[in-house]
Amino acid sequence: MNRLHILLILTALLLVGCGGSGTDESAPAVDDSTATTNSNNDSTNDSESDSESEAETSTEDEGASEDNQESESPQANSNEADSNDENIDAGFNFRSVVNVDLHLDVSAISDTKSYVSLCHYQASSSTDINYEDCLVRGSTSYGVFAATFDAAPHFEQLGLVVWFIDTSIQPLQFEVSRMEMDMGEVHIVAGN
Amino acid sequence: MTFRNTLYAIATIAIMPLAQSYATEFEQCPTQAFLIQSPSGSAIIYGVDLASGDYDTLEPGMSISKLNGVGFNFHDNYLYGWDYDAQTLAKIGSDYVSQPLNIVSGLIGQPFFVGDVALNENAWYGYRPSVGLFRVDLTDPAAQLSMTQVATANSMGNPKLTDFAFHPTNGLLYAVDNDGFLMEIDVNDGSTTVLGEVLNETNAGFNFTFGAQYFDVDEHLYISNNSNGYVYKIDLKSQTPTAEFFAYGPKSQSNDGARCALAPVEVTVGMDFGDAPDSYSTSFATSGPRHLESALFLGSQIDTEVDANLYPQSDDAASNIDDEDGVEFVTNMEVGEAALVRVTASEANGVLNAWIDFDGNGAFDEDEQVFTDKALNKGTSTLSYTVPNWAEAGTTWSRFRISSIEGLGPTGGVSDGEVEDYPVAITQQNVSVTYYPSANDYTSLAYEDLWPVKGDLDMNDLLMHMRITEFRKNDQIIKLEVTGKVAAVGAGYHNGFALQLPGVAPTTVDESRLQIEINQQTASHAVLETDQTNAVFIVMPDVKAHVDINQGCKFFRTEANCANSQLPTWKLTIPFIDGVAQNSFPAAPYDPFIFATEGMHHGSRVGNVTGGDPGRLWEVHLKNQAPTDSLHSRLLGRDDDRSDPLLGLFYQDNEGLPWALEIPATWQHPLEKVDIRQAYPMFAEFATSEGAVNTDWYQPNNANVELLYKEEN
């Protein structure tokens, strides 16, 4: 049985008894508050009470919460879950964005100040820049600009535009591809 | 000879009306205002929409040379005014033919250009400068009438009036004279009270002749200036009435106005509004900018509204119709530097007026106008402007208006064109700005709040949308602006929301300039926790306190048929004293987390560990993000949690599943009690593959959309 299969079975199990917050936990509380008095970082051994609480079955909460809006209780299937652990790597943090270094050099065209915008394209266009939806905006120094940005997985391509205050110099536009983003580095040198 | 001319001939020869034969009355208490002008030998009557300044010609040429002192008679739905040819008061019906009344006594033989009809009695009142105030009873207009003098001009203080209007309820007359002073006149004895100066000619820069003055049922007095057609609104309910600019109306050398004072002035159908915050005078109530839809607009489309959809409830963001599409800020705005903007016009006959709130005071001031009556060609123009040296770095607003009418200010209605409002960022020189995930999108932070016990994995106990703006200079992060929206609260417990900057000490923060706003109001709670190793910022101590849960719903935006578009918003501004080195700054989204609201129950399993309501002793972070110093460490590894601080593992269960997720987009979350793995089937393999596949699992086209919360019921 592969891991995904296990996960799907577990999903079905979860749907039987799961719930959000609102009422209290299902198990009768094990009062170990005395063990933590005076220190919120006290790691005094309370494994016994932990084990007990994991084995509890669902009951109504005894602590009458003013938030008692939801009838569901936290699941009481920890033992079942334990048999299926290690499905997802403990070190995997679910982060899916890519950090990208951007380097731009337009000094061959002009070393006067110019303005850089790295943006999404307009909806249903692969050429028109959406200046309201940029990731990076800045200005060159002696024709050079550097920045970092985070690219989400659904970014297919981005547009980079350089505008010169001297409008006799035409603005430059470049495309940043998904492949470049995945490589974590974008180098653009204009005029060579 | 037409019937109208026949009537005119009889009237002018006999100076006597066919009194028993009147034309049809007007509709009962119409909302439009009547504007009467006499430019060249023939009186013209216009119907004016005060909200937009737009007008239609109702009668292009009356058979009389001039009509003035006109009032709308609420009692019989006719107009009454002074017929300069017949030299007497006349009655005008919907055919716009003047029928002089038979005034047999007291007629002074001099024309009246100031007049109105009362509401609490059926009588016309006229004022003649240097002579006085007069009354004509209109109970039976066909009878022989008399004109009686109420007061002499001297006894009234010789006011310099060009029109006046009856208040809708209190029976008093009000007028603004040609010096800009508001006056109140008691028609019982003509006693006149000067209420104060509401406009100043020197400040306005033009001469005053308010030839047309009207009331609405909400006790607003509208005054129209002859020379430029500017319409001002004065709220008589105010203890200290002032005149605010309202609309651009028709101009003329000779104006007179009449209106049913019991009719409201409402937004015209087909008007475009701006959407900046209302401190910029954006809504109709604040006389905000509004344009009657026409072929002249900015960009490729224009939409219309019944009133402004103010930020952050802009219809551009909330719907698929983004009509703010005519202005592109193609360069940064750096203090003291030139900048470029591209503006697209649909037609060639428009002029552009634009403002940027450079000092960030929440208003568009005169010295913040960047373009004045700039003629635009059809298509896109690249325009240059300068950001002044006194501009304040930060996020602010801009307003762009196109119209065929020149001289537009930042407020007021006009009969064509469009207004577009844009948020913009001003930076110091050589500051770059990085947005996460982008300047127009949000990342989503989804939490389960039963930790350390597993929840139902619907990931909507709290869902926060968040956008990060980093300001960088010389490889230092000098400021953060973090904005957010509460997108869902599917929890019974009360949770707070906070942001930790791992590796950044609280002493690096310029606390004197630290700001938190909730729903655009400065919040009063303590933001920075100074006793932490890392800088920790409390965004909302109790998120649930800020949401309005629909009647019949348990939660906020997590159930079917519980749609709610009123998302609470917040903005956290974090300035650093000397900047923080970019290479030691944490990666976005840093460490956003939830915590238990102080003094609120968060489950007895937690409470038994923490010794009562946990408050800041309970936190949930993204997987493998270390908690703050405040967390009660004995909660780690408890129940279903498999945190192992020695291995750097936090907030994960035995399967490696988290209690919190970051999704780098404005995420459509699952409905209540729907497991994320059901709502988004590709999520499971994304997780088990450690992110090698299905990286865009969160996209709507990868979802079982019937299991997602929808904005429409």
Instruction: Summarize pLDDT for B463-495 with one digit per residue, the tens.
Output: 999 999 999 999 999 999 999 999 999 999 999
Q: Is B690 on the interface with A (CB under 8 A)?
A: yes
Angle formed at CA A137 by CA A132 and CA A140, multiple of 5 degrees: 145
Model confidence at A2: pLDDT above 90 = no
Percent of chain B with pLDDT over 90: 87
Contact residues, chain B, for A116 at CB < 8 Å = 432
Contact residues, chain B, for A153 at CB < 8 Å = 664, 695-696
* CB interface of B with A, residues 417-456, below 8 Å: 422, 425, 430-441, 448-450, 453-456
Model confidence at A125: pLDDT above 90 = no
Q: Phi, psi (5° rounding) for residue B379?
A: 105, -160
Distance CA B604, CA A21 (A): 12
Instruction: Summarize pLDDT for B249-279 with one digit per residue, the tens.
Output: 888 777 889 999 999 998 888 899 999 999 9
User: What is the average per-residue pLDDT within A36-43?
Assistant: 37
User: What is the average per-residue pLDDT within A143-149?
Assistant: 96
Instruction: Summarize pLDDT for B199-243 with one digit per residue, the tens.
Output: 999 999 999 999 999 999 999 999 999 989 999 999 999 999 999
Model confidence at B560: pLDDT above 60 = yes
Nearest CB to B455 within list A8, A21, A117 = A21
Alpha-carbon B5 to chain mean position = 50
Distance CA B117, CA B164 (A): 10
Q: Which residue has the tokens 């200079």?
A: B473
SS3 B302: coil
Interface probe, candidates A100, A130, A150, chain B, greatest B C-beta count within 10 A: A150
Residue B632: per-residue pLDDT: 97
For this complex, say whether ipTM is above 0.85.
no
Q: Which residue has the tokens 């010096």?
A: B179
Residue A167: per-residue pLDDT: 86
- B109 pLDDT band, cuts 50/70/90, is confident
Angle formed at CA B180 by CA B175 and CA B186, multiple of 5 degrees: 25
Interface probe, candidates B634, B680, B685, chain A, greatest A C-beta count within 10 A: B634
Residue A146: per-residue pLDDT: 96
Give B384→chain A minimum CA distance, Å. 8
- B300 pLDDT band, cuts 50/70/90, is confident
Strand order from edge to edge, sheet including B132-137:
B103-105, B145-152, B132-137, B123-128, B114-117
Distance CA B220, CA B201 (A): 21
Cite the beta strand spans of B346-393 per DSSP E.
351-356, 369-375, 379-386
One DSSP character per residue, B71-134 reads EEETTTTEEEEEETTTTEEEEE-TT--EEE--EEES--SS---EEEE-SSSSEEEEEETTTEEE
Distance CA A191, CA A105 (A): 9
Model confidence at B630: pLDDT above 70 = yes
- A124 pLDDT band, cuts 50/70/90, is confident
Number of Cβ atoms within 10 Å of the Cβ of B673:
19
Q: State which amino acid sits at residue B178.
A: N
CB contact under 8 A, B449 and A20: yes
Classify the phi-psi angles of B646: left when phi > 0, otherwise alpha if psi is within -120 to 50, otherwise beta. alpha
* CB interface of B with A, residues 605-664, below 8 Å: 605, 607-612, 617, 622-625, 630-634, 637-640, 642, 647, 649, 652-658, 661-662, 664
Model confidence at B17: pLDDT above 60 = no
Residue B530 half-sphere exposure toward CB, CA atoms < 13 A: 6
Q: How far apart are the first and last CA of chain B?
A: 65
Distance CA A189, CA A182 (A): 19
- B304 pLDDT band, cuts 50/70/90, is confident
Model confidence at B7: pLDDT above 70 = no
The first and second tokens of residue B513, run together, are 């300039």
Residue B548: per-residue pLDDT: 95
User: What is the average per-residue pLDDT within A92-101?
Assistant: 96
- B22 pLDDT band, cuts 50/70/90, is low
Size of interface A-B (CB pairs under 8 A): 302
Q: State which amino acid sits at residue A22.
A: G
Classify the phi-psi angles of B158: left when phi > 0, otherwise alpha if psi is within -120 to 50, otherwise beta. left
The first and second tokens of residue A69, run together, are 């809006």
Instruction: Summarize pLDDT for B506-559 with one digit per residue, the tens.
Output: 999 999 999 999 998 999 999 999 999 999 999 999 999 999 999 999 999 999
CB contact under 8 A, B631 and A97: no
Instruction: Summarize pLDDT for A60-71 with one digit per residue, the tens.
Output: 233 333 343 343
CB contact under 8 A, A150 and B607: no
The whole-chain average pLDDT of chain A stands at 68
Nearest CB to A20 within list B456, B610, B685 = B456
Q: Which residue has the tokens 């800041």?
A: B616
Residue A66: per-residue pLDDT: 37
Model confidence at A54: pLDDT above 50 = no
Rounded to two decimals, the pTM is 0.80
Nearest CB to B664 within list A81, A136, A152 = A152
Residue A191: per-residue pLDDT: 80
User: What is the average per-residue pLDDT within B612-618?
Assistant: 97
- Of residues A87 and B657, more confidence is placed in B657
Q: Is A1 on the interface with B (CB under 8 A)?
A: no
Model confidence at B10: pLDDT above 60 = no
Query: Which structural domains are found in chain A, ordered by start?
Result: 1-29+45-94 (no CATH), 98-189 (2.60.40)
Residue B713: per-residue pLDDT: 63
Q: Is B665 on the interface with A (CB under 8 A)?
A: yes
Query: Which structural domains are found in chain B, ordered by start?
Result: 3-258 (2.120.10), 271-430 (2.60.40.10), 434-707 (no CATH)
Q: Is A107 on the interface with B (CB under 8 A)?
A: no
Q: Is B531 on the interface with A (CB under 8 A)?
A: no
Nearest-CA residue of chain A relative to B618?
Answer: A40
β-strand partners of B404: none
Nearest CB to A135 within list B332, B438, B610 = B438
Q: Is A139 on the interface with B (CB under 8 A)?
A: yes
One DSSP character per residue, chain A reads --HHHHHHHHHHHHHHH---SSS--SSPP---GGGGTT-TT-----HHHHHHHHT------SS--TTTT--------HHHHHTT--SS-TT------EEEEEEEE-TTT--S-EEEEEEEEPTT-SSSEEEEEEEEEEE-BTTEEEEEEEE-TT--EEEEEEEESSTTSPPEEEEEEHHHHHHTEEEEE---
Instruction: Summarize pLDDT for B346-374 with one digit per residue, the tens.
Output: 999 899 999 999 999 999 999 999 999 99
* CB interface of B with A, residues 352-391, below 8 Å: 382, 384
Model confidence at A59: pLDDT above 70 = no
Peptide bond into B502 cis (omega under 30): no
Residue B316: per-residue pLDDT: 54
Q: What share of chain B is helix, strand, coil (3-state, %, to 5)?
A: 10, 35, 55
